[in-house]
Amino acid sequence: MPDTPRQPSVLFVCVHNAGRSQMAAAFLTHLAGDRVQVRSAGSAPAGTVNPAVVEALAEVGIDISAEVPKVLTTEAVQASDVVITMGCGDTCPVFPGKRYLDWRLPDPAGQGVDAVRPIRDEIEERVRALITEIAPPARA
């Protein structure tokens, strides 16, 4: 019997995969490390990540400048334990046995960094709560 539990996997989905889902995936990767497998995708991905989102994350020490929006695939949903949607509407495929959460957050598209900061901070709070729930730190 293995000593370590299976690594949970989380998929963050928004329409363009250029803002909210990128921030959430970056925070989860940054805060949980290898305790959680992280994916993000968009139902209609943009060409690039929102520059204000890149700047807002850089302010808290997270570099996503090399990230690119990815298209949502059925395989990504099937491979994830938790699917967190952020305004992708009915375009997210639903499969039995998956946990779905809908985080209602303002869309940072077209916003400057001043408008992105509160969205970033709310996403960080939600990601911290999610980590506590699905991947608590190992006890020594």
**Measured distance CA(70)–CA(40) in Å, rounded:** 7
For residue 137, pLDDT over 50 is answered with yes
- What's the N-to-C CA distance of the chain in angstroms? 19
Helices (H), the chain: 20-32, 51-58, 74-78, 113-134
Q: What is the pLDDT of residue 32?
A: 96
Q: What is the pTM of this model?
A: 0.92
Backbone φ and ψ for 114, nearest 5 degrees, come out as -60, -35
Write down the pLDDT at residue 36.
Answer: 96
Mean pLDDT of the chain: 91
φ, ψ for residue 20, nearest 5 deg: -60, -50
State which amino acid sits at residue 109.
A
The catalytic site residues sit at 14, 88, 92
Q: What is the mean pLDDT of residues 40-65?
A: 96
Opening angle at CA 127, ends 123 and 25, nearest 5:
80
Q: What is the pLDDT of residue 139?
A: 67
pLDDT value of residue 1: 43
Q: Quote the CA–CA distance of 116 and 51 in Å, as a whole number.
A: 10
In the structure encoding, which two tokens stand for residue 69, read together?
A: 């929006």
